Chain A
Amino acid sequence: MKSICLYFQIHQPFRLKRYRFFNIGADHHYFDDANNEAIIKRIAKNSYIPANNAMLQMIKESNGEFKVAYSISGLALEQLEHYCPEVIDSFKKLAKTGCVEFLAETYAHSFASLRKENKEFEKQVEAHSKKIESLFGQKPTVFRNSELLFCDDMVDRVANMGFAGMLAEGAPQILDWKSPNYVYCSTANQRVKLLLKNCGMSDDIAYRFSDWGWREFPLTADKFANWIMNNPDEQVVNLFMNYEVLGEIQNANTGIFDFFKALPNAAKNRGIRFATPSEVINNNMPTDQISAPHPTTWANATKDLSPWLANTIQNEAFNKLYALTDKVNRCSDKQIIDDWYKLQSTDHLYYMSTSFYNQSFCPYDSPYDAFINYMNVLSDFNKRVDSFFTADISEEELNSLVKEKLALEAELAALKSGKKVSKTETKSETTKKATKETKKVVEEKKVAKETEAKKKTKKTNSK
């Protein structure tokens, strides 16, 4: 039986306010609250609320046969909780129907998965899963990456976090002649099943739905279901898109809501059912393997990272940001961690693109404006992180201590795994003791530093 796997993405970044270099060190609030509030409220009103109502109605009317999945970034959830709690409530209602699945992603909608040297990626996915669980009472079992980013390097990490499958773009460079309408598994790790977006049919709805010049205009639910039915013996059609397609990208006047409301019946009449990503993954065996040596994303034309990480300034910003990872992770200041997440959204990089620059929703005049602003914010953030630690220890000293600690930990792990040959056993035991001792010392130093820094920040706060 053929199925439709419908999944919607929700993400809104914390857009930065105009932050000049003379604010560095003086102003620690980076975000354009008024604008962010206005945007999320507008989208909630036009899209999220009416769309959620429509979904709820469809689930009820189809007696639970209609199914849908969401991936909501942690930053979007934060903004919704803050500005439009009614949207969260309506998602909770949807969650209770049992026909809705929430997917895992990076909390910050970031490209942390591209950084192999640290555990930022895992940390963010865990933070996101926790948030989803606390809000909707579901533990996500399927993973989707920011911008549907997928490449072989990250598959093991996804598998190690316990996910049975992940979503990806049905990009021509990885599919080649294959159809996206089957379940695949990854070459890099065959335990991970892949659901690939059907680009053509997803974009038919997302971008061409109201295009009068399109050959197939107007698109009706029956026509759409016919296309799926007439596709010879394929398993599943993965329709992945932004939730804003309902009501924002496609205005309510275009009839997009009516199209979706008619879809369950049109599908049922043709023997097509709906399934959530985890159902598809659990009920189907992989047809073949898919390999993605280079990163693929759902970027419109190129299906790669080029809108986010193409020019030198984007790479500069990205590298400067993640150079802070270790330092930030040693901070316990909640405000720093919060801002750290907000600065990681892929949107900030997207605004710096010099080749994709006609986006109406970009808050800047030019990519250079975006870069200047972001780097100013980042240097203030860097200073804050530094000032969290005591001033009498220089950065190099700190880094060397951290390196030492990491090296010792690695050694310890290697020793524990017991792969050492018995000959060196006596020797290794002595080193073990030594490492434990040095580790203690380093930790003590670190704790001392942190407490001192805390005192310092408290002092400055009370001032």
Chain B
Amino acid sequence: MKALMFGWEFPPHILGGLGTASYGLIKGMSRHKDIDITLVLPKPRGDEDQSFLKIIAANKVPIVWQEPDSKVLKDSLEGRITTDEYYNFRNCICEDNRYIGTNGIGSVEFSGRYPDNLLEEIRNYEAVAGVVCRSSNFDIIHSHDWLTYDAGVKAKMITGKPLVIHVHATDFDRSRGNVNPTVYNIEKYGMDMADHIITVSNMTRDTVINKYHIDPRKVTTVHNAVTPLSKEILDIKPNNNTGDKIVTFLGRITMQKGPEFFVQAAKQVLDRTPNVRFVMAGGGDKMAEMVDLASAYGIVDRFHFTGFLKGKEVYEMLKSSNLYIMPSVSEPFGISPLEAMQCGVPTIVSKQSGCAEILTKVIKVDFWDIDAMADAIHSIVTNDAFAEHLKVEGKKEVDEIKWEYAGDKVINVYNQVLGYK
């Protein structure tokens, strides 16, 4: 079975959880030898792991006929695709895309990020999808997240192959309910056109059914999983010289992640508990507000901000923590608590997170229930046996949450959509 996938991010160049999730899922699916996956990305950097899938660089695919000099062409392609592939794609241009700004080889320059002209990039990506889907044979189309829904729909319209869309998040999660109508429109259109919808949690499934009015029969939940940590990461030594217990918030400091509840809980705990420090790691548009809040509470001597952490720093921070908290207001899944558990860190998650549906060896609180959160923090930092229990049992539990199982479920969905079973 051949699947054509549309994605936006892929490790090692990731901006959020989407890239990590796509990687894990595809890797999990790839252990089935009869599954052949091609992934279209706006701007791959060339250092992606291509051992278990084929990546097509959308920024090298021509959408307007050009006849570049062979040397110029070779330089422009940068080895992302071969010249043969280039000519093959060029033969598949069936639409007039000249209204789109292209470069010398007739391709679009994508940023591969989330720029201000995101809607334009989405439209250009859709045009690329029109070319790519004509150039090869496949059985099913799979679009990851709303940026690629239009591309998936386009491919479905042209080839008539079934479309599966994978909802990693909805705009209701990102905006705390103040939905952007344009984004909603794209999401709704994609969901309407899809033959099947995969959501990352039952919570997201409910949103898709109730807020986007989709027939429940075509929505299936496949919970995310987590990739085992590499030895290099496992060997990172905890680095905490303060002698205090460290409670960590790690993620983008945005409205969606509920950082203010973390600060408020910290205040309650710090008022009554010695030998605890709180760390808010990450950057985001709410950071200044949180600094103000912590100062207003007068807890900045024990409440620290690290700014944006990347790569190994994230795991260094996790490993040095005694407790990890994700108080998200609305989290479709949330892989980071699973990573904390892999590092052997006791974890508190909000009940409004998708991962709470599959985790039992964590503490779950409502994001707004600051008293409960503070109580749980206090209990873990003051009771070593409790922390040890969560550490050991949590690690055991998370080690059994594997992408292979998620991959199997996605393949089941494919079979169902294709009528194989």
Residues of A within 8 A of B (CB): 20-22, 311-313, 315-316, 354, 357, 365-366, 368-369, 371-372, 375-376
Q: Which residues of B contact A372 (CB under 8 A)?
A: 363, 375-376, 379, 386
A316 touches B375 (CB 8 A): no
Task: Place the interface of chain B in its size category.
Answer: 20 to 34
- Residue B388 at the A interface, CB < 8 A? yes
Q: Are B385 and A316 in contact (CB under 8 A)?
A: yes
B378 A316 Cβ-Cβ under 8 A: no
Residues on B with C-beta less than 8 A from A20 are: 371-372, 374-375
**Residues of chain B within 8 A of A21, CB atoms compared:** 272, 374-375, 378-379
Are B363 and A375 touching (Cβ within 8 A)? no
Q: Which residue of A lies closest to B351 (CB)?
A: A365
Check: B360 CB closer than 8 A to any chain A CB.
Answer: yes
CB contacts under 8 Å to A, within B358-380, are 360-361, 363-364, 371-372, 374-376, 378-379
Residue contact B383 to A316, C-beta cutoff 8 Å? yes
B268 touches A (CB below 8 Å): yes
**Residue pair A311, B379 in contact (C-beta under 8 Å):** no
Cα(A311)–Cα(B363), bound, Å: 16
Question: Which positions 372-421 of chain B face chain A at CB distance < 8 Å?
Answer: 372, 374-376, 378-379, 383, 385-386, 388-390, 392-393
Task: Give A315's nearest chain B residue, CB to CB.
Answer: B385
- Produce 1/0 per residue, B32-52, CB < 8 A to A: 000000000000000000000
| B385: A residues at CB distance < 8 A | 312-313, 315-316
Can you list 18 A-B contacts with CB-CB less than 8 angstroms, sorted by A residue number? A20-B371, A20-B372, A20-B374, A21-B272, A21-B378, A22-B271, A22-B374, A311-B389, A311-B393, A312-B388, A312-B389, A315-B385, A316-B385, A357-B360, A365-B364, A366-B360, A368-B386, A372-B379
Enumerate B264-282 residues with CB–CB distance to A below 8 Å: 268, 271-272
Task: Please report the C-alpha to C-alpha distance between residue A354 and residue B360 in the assembled complex, in whole angstroms.
Answer: 8
B161 CB to closest chain A CB (Å) equals 43
Q: Which residues of B contact A (CB under 8 A)?
A: 268, 271-272, 360-361, 363-364, 371-372, 374-376, 378-379, 383, 385-386, 388-390, 392-393
In the assembled complex, the Cα of A350 lies from the Cα of B332 at a distance in Å of 33
CA distance A368 to B378 in the complex (A): 13
In the assembled complex, the Cα of A396 lies from the Cα of B390 at a distance in Å of 31
Q: In the bound complex, what is the Cα–Cα distance between A316 and B271 (angstroms)?
A: 26
Task: State the CA gap A357–B361 with chains docked (Å).
Answer: 12
Given contacts A313-B386, A354-B361, A368-B363, contact A22 B272 (CB under 8 A): yes
Least CB distance from B36 to A in Å reads 42
B374 to chain A, nearest CB (A): 7
Set of chain A residues within 8 Å of B376, measured between Cβ atoms: 368, 372
The 5 closest A-B pairs by CB, nearest first: A316-B385, A312-B389, A21-B378, A372-B379, A20-B375
Residues of A within 8 A of B378 (CB): 21
Contacts of A375 in B (CB 8 A): 379, 383, 386
Q: Is the interface of B mostly helix, strand, loop or mixed?
A: helix
B372: chain A residues at CB < 8 Å are 20
CB distance from B389 to the nearest CB of A (A): 4
What chain B residues lie within 8 Å of A365 (beta carbons)?
A: 364
Give the Cβ gap from B392 to chain A, nearest Cβ, in Å. Answer: 8
Nearest B residue (CB) for A22: B272
Contact B371 A316, beta carbon cutoff 8 Å: no
Q: B389 near A313 (CB under 8 angstroms)?
A: yes
B324 CB → nearest A CB, Å: 15
Looking at B360, B361, B363, B375, the one whose CB has the most chain A CB atoms below 10 A away is B375
Residues of A within 8 A of B383 (CB): 316, 375
Q: How far is the CA of A315 from the CA of B385 in the complex (A)?
A: 9
Chain B residue nearest in CB terms to A371? B386
Q: Are B272 and A366 in contact (CB under 8 A)?
A: no
Contacts of B388 in A (CB 8 A): 312
| Complex CA distance for A343 and B385, rounded to whole angstroms | 20
| Cβ-defined contact, B379 with A22, below 8 A | no
Once the chains are docked, how many angstroms separate the CA of A424 from the CA of B388? 52
| Contact residues in B for A371 (Cβ distance below 8 Å) | 379, 386
The complex places the Cα of A365 from the Cα of B386 at a distance, in Å, of 17
Q: Which residue of B lies closest to A23 (CB)?
A: B375
Closest to A19 in B: B375
Return chain B residues, CB-CB under 8 Å to A354: 360-361, 393
In whole angstroms, how far apart are the Cα atoms of A21 and B268 in the complex? 10
Q: Which of A312, A357, A366 contacts B363 (CB 8 A)?
A: A366
Contact status of A316 and B386, CB under 8 A, knowing A21-B378, A354-B393, A376-B379: yes
| Chain B residues within 8 Å of A315, by CB | 385
Q: Apart from A21-B374, A21-B375, A371-B386, what 17 extra A-B contacts exist at CB < 8 Å?
A: A20-B371, A21-B272, A21-B378, A22-B272, A22-B371, A312-B386, A312-B388, A312-B389, A312-B392, A313-B385, A315-B385, A368-B376, A368-B390, A372-B379, A375-B386, A376-B375, A376-B379
Give complex CA distance A316, B386 in Å. Answer: 8
Q: How far is the CA of A375 from the CA of B384 in the complex (A)?
A: 12
Q: Establish whether residues A22 and B363, one from each chain, have CB atoms under 8 Å apart when the complex forms.
A: no
Nearest opposing residue in chain A for B363, CB measure: A368
Residues from chain B with Cβ under 8 Å of A357 in the complex: 360
State the Cβ distance, A12 to closest chain B Cβ, in Å. 26
Residues of A within 8 A of B364 (CB): 365-366
**Alpha-carbon separation in the docked complex, A21 to B376 (Å):** 9
Distance between Cα atoms of A374 and B379 in the complex (Å): 10
Closest beta carbon of chain B to A246's beta carbon, Å: 34
How far apart sit A312 and B393, CA to CA, in the bound complex (Å)? 10
> What's the least CB distance linking B39 to chain A, in Å?
39
A residues less than 8 Å from B390 (CB atoms): 368
Q: B210 to chain A: closest CB distance in Å? A: 24
User: Please, how many angstroms separate the alpha-carbon atoms of A368 and B361 in the complex?
Assistant: 9
Q: In the complex, what distance in Å separates the CA atom of A20 from the CA atom of B372?
A: 7
In the bound assembly, the distance between CA atoms of A316 and B388 in angstroms comes to: 11
Complex: chain B residue closest to A24, CB-CB = B272
Which residues from chain A contact B389 at a C-beta distance below 8 Å?
A: 311-313, 316
In the complex, what's the smallest C-beta–C-beta distance from A353 to chain B, in angstroms? 12
Q: How far is the CA of A357 from the CA of B390 in the complex (A)?
A: 16
Bound complex: CA A371 to CA B346 (Å): 15
The residue among B372, B389, B390 with the most chain A CB atoms within 10 A of its own CB is B389
Chain B residue nearest to A316 (CB atoms) is B385
B398 CB to closest chain A CB (Å) equals 15
A50 to chain B, nearest CB (A): 39
Min CB gap B147→A, angstroms: 37
Pair A22/B386 contact, Cβ less than 8 Å: no
A18 to chain B, nearest CB (A): 9
Bound Cα distance A312, B346 (Å): 14
Task: List residues of chain A with CB within 8 A of the CB of B379.
Answer: 21, 371-372, 375-376
- B244 CB to closest chain A CB (Å) equals 18
In the complex, A312→B361 CA distance in Å?
Answer: 13
Q: Which of B268, B364, B383, B393 has the most CB of A within 10 A?
A: B383
Which residues of B sit under 8 angstroms from A311, Cβ to Cβ? Answer: 389, 393
Tell me the complex Cα distance, A262–B383, Å.
55
Which single residue of chain A is at the shortest CB-CB distance from B379? A372
Closest residue on chain A to residue B360 by CB atoms: A354
> Which residue of B has the minimal Cβ distance to A372?
B379
A368: B residues at CB distance < 8 A: 363, 376, 386, 390
Chain B neighbourhood of A369, CB < 8 A: 363
Residues in chain B near residue A316, CB distance under 8 A = 383, 385-386, 389
Residues of A within 8 A of B374 (CB): 20-22
Q: Closest A-chain residue to B388, C-beta based?
A: A312
